[in-house]
Structure 1
């Protein structure tokens, strides 16, 4: 790379380069990129300024190098013979398997301002999942729910307010007050998108349960209310100074019984008291320690869900001085192997069997890459998307009935999605994180049929870097998800899955399809932040040199993505590209290449799930909270713009001016849009030179 040039400092430029050409199969990334800046345009800073970053954790630019490739390398050609009615298939799964857990204290940032002003990007993000799955599960709760109190109203029409002076626990979670309008906001969201909700009973005072939230939710949410949590991580209550040091699982069971008694004597709780979700332990107690109390049998008619909450590790020492420090550089590679998902799921296999015996669904109610906010460079990069995909599918294959990725706000690294800071909301958009892509792919892999069954498949030569799953419907293999954790932009670490479809356990032969359709989830490396592509494959050149004449951002809609930080309105942007791969019908094999890094969703039949759950729907704003001075030009573009040498018509955006027209950024950029084709160099003209 030329001296002074930094792709890391120009993610939009990298997106542009990756958007160049589509290829018919797999993905090949640019082997060498050289960026030449015109005089006066050389950047004054590069990614070295990461060390001095002091902004919100959600947008931290810290990156870690991709782990080195293993030595020896794993087998990169794997053979799969898929059987009908295969042994070991999971219980039937919902396409809404992966949902989202929104910390109650940030729900007014994520869901909307109040019941009349909803966050449109949030609606779009949920609609994108619903389109594939038919519904979406969202929980509003977390640590902040246990100290929440419902009040009739708050100043300025707010739906909740934090008591920052009342923090009394090590995780610095502030007590909340909220109004019923929070629940009306949730119901109004469900009127647009088929969202099913979990709430929680405040559990900080078990001698006087505050049941107002359940009363209001039963009336307002109606059938959209599917679960009521009774205690959030009760095994941590003593450590967080919320209970005596000798608080045990038997004490918890007694409190749940008291809660049910109180709910039975309270009007408008006839439904909610039978939707309880317990015990939501985090790992200090094992779930078996709770099952062994006999709670499920004793209170079965009131229990709708069995639940746990668990994160692979924590960053609590760095955030709150709790526990021990973590060496993130050593930890990072562990997220990029199937052994991570296996270690997370294995402790709960007994509980998934127990849940089936009791006729209850078992859900991972809150999880993500690490508690206490996650890690910069681990939780917010492409590797986390692959980790979440593998973890989610292994939970589905292991008879969990769902899982929820947590949304914690600006102070955490792991958000599936997050709005911009409120003081930047007029000129910045949302940031979509890596684990949202995990949920999107799983929703499309499972589909809305509610009869999908998941089976992890492997071969004797399969490694921890290449996990694979088959999705069955009515006993027949219909889709596969293939994952490659290796990070190698040369293409030399892509692996090939050779897929045969057998005739079932009877050994009868079956005809291989003439072709399969494939959607790819890709990025340049496991360390890439944002700009991941879903069903938007790109080819590249062996060598690419670019002459940047100005700092204007080019966006060519050749890749389907939610963009990088502050770039999404909740809709996939760009052109969807679905690969068609011809099968060898003589050898009865379909060979699918999986990029390093990346994942492939393989459709073994002509049945698509992209719009099987609901029609494609997007939402536009119909209410404006600011009606003047609303021009939205990216400040970084404006700061270095040369004004197009004065060639633009002079105008004013001031209210009441003679010429009040505003030139929008898309219109301004239209002069730079190019159509890729044979004449790439001539089409781009003065802007860049391709060599």
Structure 2
């Protein structure tokens, strides 16, 4: 929803596409000279909106094979994954930013967040979200905070290289999660603080189970315990056996807590594969010892880090040099490779292994990489590779304004009444993967190692009940000339349909920022989204050569194409419409009137309120009111911000109206 906002005074700006600023000058005033936008090198704003654009890598030389075939068959195929949940691609939200992302409290929820979740739930059948991260380790559940908010941070008590603040939070935070699940099919993970194993704080498990019930599907025990010693949270000799011992102490504590009803929700070991490997933990007998308590096995991992730029630790990295490393099929495979033994181990033990926290780079990601179209291709390929390799889910991390990699970012609090959300490339990847897997929870993923295993043109087949239903094709190359577009001949033999349907993930370059297209629709650029796709959905129809059993699909450079091999495969995803949510409350009740710019042009200046016959009044609360004349002019209706999630709608004389979506 596009809204016009006015700042009364010397200037007013029109917020929508954020493409221009209209300035009204007082009579006889000499306009100031214009200032051009600062370049990315001197940008000092929030990382989430960093303007850095990198150079895409040139097309490979020698050129790749640009036309190739893939052979599919009914009855399944060796190498396909275990059946995967449609909600495989979920999110890990840092606990310290929950009141920015989910809502202010249990009664004031963020509408764009609900809409973003609804997009996924309609396609995948549900969404899985973890609330936790570093800040869960020191979080304390309190009856109330001094500010009355659902959480408070102790900025003076920061710890860790990433400057993690201790948190106090109230049970209303968990009620807020529960209310979201009343509206959208969301399952939750929480974390038990593990900083004081002599006095476990089990309140999060108690209240979580009481409030969320079956929507609470896991409790994390320790966040990256293999880094505890390095970060000064345990003695230097702390190792896997020590973690397993503390895990056992927690189980004993939970057995003695009558309020922790379900003791089978625990998740471990959650290592970052930094100072330990998963095998080091498995070799302790951890899984056998606590099998009845473990809902999931889990690891966390980022392929690299940007900690030097953010916190002055580690090794400096140049995003431009790193960019090509994310733009090929080997990138996702390299992250998954260290865990292939563990996915086999998990299946042998009857457990599910999750990637519990991940993204482009720890310490917030990189400018120009984490927020580029290349990151959308990378995250989608990486997610599909994890599914193919028998992970049972992956949670991509969400931080605050100071990170580059967010799947979605609410506007800064002091701008939330006139700016909307920013949707990052990782969310687009989540949307595409939700459609690729679908809601059946029977999808099996197979990496086809297409085009002779070429790293720039990977392809996956998605099977249901042994039959291919969808194919996902990639092209990592940037080339606007069309020379590096690829043509994939999908061979289905006698099962070839008369036609296939195609949705495309598209941008002009892997370095493009914002305004990506999924099936012709977009969430726009920075500050432009209310969580709903904008534009007309475009689903292409391509005729097949049934005589030869082949369907040929073009994939532009760069981009991805999701091919639906039957009408049923598409209708499974397109069933019904996405449920969207109205704004039904306001968080600001004065100085929010919008007005036609032509009227504003004559109303600026201190004396405008007293111009003869105008009675325009003051914009300050409690000052001279011009409302009587405004009611006469506009028939008693003011367009006022009704903000829950930055949505804007009509308010008639102080009565909150539901915005029809």
What TM-score bracket applies, with the shorter chain setting the length? 0.7 to 0.9
Correspondence list, 1:88-487, <5 A: 88-271=79-262, 273-284=263-274, 285-459=276-450, 461-487=452-478
Which of 486, 500, 515 aligns to 1:516? It is 500
Change (3 A) 1:155 1:313: same
Which of 478, 483, 495 aligns to 2:486? It is 495
Which of 31, 36, 56 aligns to 1:66? It is 56
Change (3 A) 1:491 1:449: same
Does structure 2 retain, via aligned residues, the 8 Å contact 1:230–1:256? Answer: yes
Tell me, in whole angstroms, the C-alpha distance in 2 between the residues paired with 1:429 and 1:386: 25
Does structure 2 retain, via aligned residues, the 8 Å contact 1:203–1:231? Answer: yes
Give CA-to-partner distance per residue, 1:305-337, whole Å, 9 cap, x none. Answer: 000000010001111121111122211111001
- Structure 1 residues not aligned, in runs of 5+: 1-9, 15-39, 503-509, 537-559, 644-649, 667-691
- Which residue of structure 2 aligns with residue 571 of structure 1? 532
Does structure 1 retain, via aligned residues, the 8 Å contact 2:229–2:238? Answer: yes
Change (3 A) 1:458 1:148: same
1:80 maps to 2:41: no
- Structure 2 residues not aligned, in runs of 5+: 1-14, 20-30, 604-613, 620-624, 642-661
Does structure 2 retain, via aligned residues, the 8 Å contact 1:628–1:655? Answer: no
Q: What is the Cα deviation at residue 460 of structure 1? A: 5.1
Does structure 1 retain, via aligned residues, the 8 Å contact 2:458–2:473? Answer: yes
Does structure 2 retain, via aligned residues, the 8 Å contact 1:99–1:137? Answer: yes
- TM-score by length of structure 1 reads 0.82
Tell me, in whole angstroms, the C-alpha distance in 2 between the residues paired with 1:235 and 1:60: 32
Q: What is the Cα deviation at residue 236 of structure 1? A: 0.5
Which of 648, 652, 656 aligns to 2:627? It is 656
Tell me, in whole angstroms, the C-alpha distance in 2 between the residues paired with 1:516 and 1:612: 15
| Aligned-CA RMSD value | 2.5
Does structure 2 retain, via aligned residues, the 8 Å contact 1:386–1:598? Answer: yes
1:531 maps to 2:515: yes
- Which residue of structure 2 aligns with residue 616 of structure 1? 578
- Which residue of structure 2 aligns with residue 591 of structure 1? 552
Change (3 A) 1:83 1:568: same
Q: What is the Cα deviation at residue 51 of structure 1? A: 1.8
Change (3 A) 1:606 1:333: same
Does structure 2 retain, via aligned residues, the 8 Å contact 1:74–1:462? Answer: no
- Which residue of structure 2 aligns with residue 505 of structure 1? none
Tell me, in whole angstroms, the C-alpha distance in 2 between the residues paired with 1:234 and 1:651: 66
Tell me, in whole angstroms, the C-alpha distance in 2 between the residues paired with 1:192 and 1:381: 31
User: Secondary structure of 2:298's match?
Assistant: strand
Give CA-to-partner distance per residue, 1:56-103, whole Å, 9 cap, x none. Answer: 111111111111111111111110110221111100001100000000
Q: What is the Cα deviation at residue 157 of structure 1? A: 2.8
User: Secondary structure of 1:155's match?
Assistant: coil
Tell me, in whole angstroms, the C-alpha distance in 1 between the residues paired with 2:640 and 2:40: 28
- Which residue of structure 2 aligns with residue 554 of structure 1? none
User: Secondary structure of 1:488's match?
Assistant: coil
User: Secondary structure of 2:181's match?
Assistant: helix
Tell me, in whole angstroms, the C-alpha distance in 1 between the residues paired with 2:306 and 2:32: 39
Give CA-to-partner distance per residue, 1:403-449, whole Å, 9 cap, x none. Answer: 00000110100000010000000000000000000000000110010
Structure 1 stretches of at least 4 aligned residues deviating more than 6 Å after TM superposition? 40-43, 640-643, 650-655, 662-666
Does structure 2 retain, via aligned residues, the 8 Å contact 1:427–1:633? Answer: no
User: Secondary structure of 1:177's match?
Assistant: strand
Tell me, in whole angstroms, the C-alpha distance in 2 between the residues paired with 1:633 and 1:55: 30
Higher relative contact order (CA 8 A, sep 6+): 1
Change (3 A) 1:657 1:424: farther
Does structure 2 retain, via aligned residues, the 8 Å contact 1:126–1:193? Answer: yes
Tell me, in whole angstroms, the C-alpha distance in 2 between the residues paired with 1:346 and 1:492: 33
Give CA-to-partner distance per residue, 1:229-262, whole Å, 9 cap, x none. Answer: 0000000111111111111010000000000000
Q: What is the Cα deviation at residue 43 of structure 1? A: 7.9
Change (3 A) 1:97 1:231: same
